[in-house]
Amino acid sequence: MPRAVHLLALGIFAMVTSEFVVAGLMPQMAEGLGATIPEIGYLITAFALAMAFGGPVLTVAVMRLRPKTALLVLFAVFLTGNVLAATATTYGAMLVARIVTGVASQAFFGVALSLCAQLTRPELRGRAAAVALNGLMLGTLLGLPLSTLVGERFGWRAAFWAITALAALAALCTAAGIPAVERAAEGGSLREELAVFKRRKLWLTLSTSTFVIGATFSAFSYLNPVLTGLTGFSAGAVPLLLIAYGAATVAGNWVVGRLADRHAVPVLLCGLALNALFLAGFALTAHLPVPAVAFTVGMGLVGVTMNPAMVTRVQRAGNARPLVNTIHSSCITLGIVIGSSAGGLAVEASGLRAPLWLGAALAVAGLLTLVPDLTRARRKPAATAAGSTAAPVAAPEYPAASPERLSDAPGPIAASSRP
């Protein structure tokens, strides 16, 4: 696996940590900015909406640049927003800062995943996505608790300065370690880039990702009150349970990354089915500590860990270029918004078990979006048995990178010490 893919994971880690930091420092930020807790909560929503709708716009603005140059430009935008957040003295300034960092983060994900595809052979793209997305999983496992710890010890501004330093380090590593490859030859005008979105299959594939993440976040967004209010855990035990959840996401991402290239649809089928079962089981037994812990870990194993399979499937339905990857990330972010907001409405209407049932329902809806792919898969063996010729496999959007581009690659991922 090229060293550059691991460096991309560092950049994603920095940006995911910035995304999560507000959630861990709400009281301190409310006091420091003279705002209410709900108003600080709106900063999370603003970040998500900026990612969903602003990220693709910024991607279009940088898509004519070389990938490395685009990444460095996006780092510059992100750092500008994060410095503004660290120095904000008013709620309005912080809101602008969160919008800027949200837009930059989303565009960065799209360009980074596109570069992963460009730097690796087609049969390794799922694994490459999993390595880069380790930054997302580690952001959940380490980024949130560490930034919260820094904020509690040294003030919430220190947490933003620490993230700024981390992002600056990632930018320097990108400048030094990412090869200066050209844009993919297949890239064309904006009209050509947009033409792929006329494909019905691509939108169906994107909807699967929205349901996968919506199912997970409808429950995860309210995990703390569920574990304390229903299960009876103390507030001090919840961070340990979240660490267990985060560790499960790292393990699940490792497994899915190794299966995604050859078995993307079966992986998604199993993941969604298991998540529906885990969420329904959690809803039924949320008052019992042992099942609650088991189902929490189970959600970590089969929730956001589906990302490598989702990325692989979307790239095959569309292409592996930045705009498709960014729109995919926007659909994932839309899933977060839908899951968390609908989960909140469900809590108000029916109590703390309701978002768990909602998550199970969204997982079932995601399973339904896989039916066309499963139907086609069943027809192919029948057509082969009847002597039909299988449809030719579409040529990869990115050719395998030339040897000189990958001079820093130590070999296949199986030989790597990192997932």
CATH code assigned at 323: 1.20.1250.20
363 with 299: CB under 8 angstroms? no
Please check whether residues 69 and 205 belong to one and the same domain: no
**Distant-in-sequence, close-in-space partners of 302: CB < 8 Å, separation ≥ 6:** 252, 270, 271, 272, 274, 275, 278
Please check whether residues 273 and 175 belong to one and the same domain: no
What's the pLDDT tens digit per position in 208-217? 999 999 999 8
Please check whether residues 210 and 317 belong to one and the same domain: yes
83 with 168: CB under 8 angstroms? no
Does this model's pTM top 0.85?
no
Please check whether residues 169 and 275 belong to one and the same domain: no
Please check whether residues 289 and 165 belong to one and the same domain: no
Q: Is residue 214 part of a domain?
A: yes
Please check whether residues 106 and 241 belong to one and the same domain: no
**Distant-in-sequence, close-in-space partners of 43: CB < 8 Å, separation ≥ 6:** 22, 29, 94, 95, 98
Taking the C-alpha atoms of 30, 35, 36 and 37 in order, what is their torsion angle to the nearest 10 degrees?
-40
Please check whether residues 31 and 139 belong to one and the same domain: yes
Q: Is residue 154 part of a domain?
A: yes
CA distance 259 to 264: 7
Please check whether residues 55 and 169 belong to one and the same domain: yes
Q: What is the pLDDT of residue 348?
A: 85
Max mean pLDDT range (148-152, 356-360, 369-373): 356-360
Q: What percent of the chain has pLDDT over 90?
A: 36
Q: Is residue 267 part of a domain?
A: yes
Identify the CA nearest to 35 among candidates 83, 88, 102, 103: 88
Please check whether residues 168 and 62 belong to one and the same domain: yes
Please check whether residues 206 and 175 belong to one and the same domain: no
Pull the structure tokens for residue 260. 């995604």
Task: Assess whether pLDDT exceeds 80 at residue 92.
Answer: yes
Could you tell me the CA-to-CA distances from 195 to 255, 319, 321, 323, 375 in Å, in that order?
34, 11, 13, 11, 26
Please check whether residues 151 and 3 belong to one and the same domain: yes
Q: What is the pLDDT of residue 391?
A: 45
Q: Which residue among 129, 150, 179 closes a domain?
A: 179
pLDDT band at 94 (very low <50, low <70, confident <90, very high): very high
Q: Is residue 120 part of a domain?
A: yes
Q: Which residue among 179, 213, 246 closes a domain?
A: 179
User: Taking the alpha carbons of 210, 294, 146, 156 in that order, is the dihedral positive or negative?
Assistant: positive
Q: Is residue 416 part of a domain?
A: no
Q: Is residue 185 part of a domain?
A: no
pLDDT band at 333 (very low <50, low <70, confident <90, very high): confident
Q: Is residue 402 part of a domain?
A: no
Please check whether residues 330 and 274 belong to one and the same domain: yes
Task: Assess whether pLDDT exceeds 80 at residue 381.
Answer: no
User: Taking the alpha carbons of 225, 230, 233, 237 in that order, is the dihedral positive or negative?
Assistant: negative
What's the pLDDT tens digit per position in 243-274? 888 889 889 988 998 898 888 999 999 999 99
Q: Which domain holds residue 265?
A: 196-383
Q: Is residue 405 part of a domain?
A: no
Q: Which residue among 144, 179, 214 closes a domain?
A: 179
Max mean pLDDT range (25-29, 288-292, 401-405): 288-292
Q: How many domains does the chain have?
A: 2
Identify the CA nearest to 291 among candidates 213, 343, 226: 226
Task: Assess whether pLDDT exceeds 60 at residue 56.
Answer: yes
At CA 221, angle to CA 85 and CA 340, rounded to 5? 85
Task: Assess whether pLDDT exceeds 50 at residue 419.
Answer: no
Q: What is the pLDDT of residue 396?
A: 43
What is residue 117's three-state secondary structure?
Answer: helix
Q: How many other C-beta atoms lie within 10 A of the C-beta of residue 294?
A: 15
Task: Assess whether pLDDT exceeds 50 at residue 315.
Answer: yes
Q: What is the pLDDT of residue 395?
A: 41
Q: What is the pLDDT of residue 324?
A: 86
What's the pLDDT tens digit per position in 71-87? 999 999 999 999 999 99
Task: Assess whether pLDDT exceeds 50 at residue 406.
Answer: no
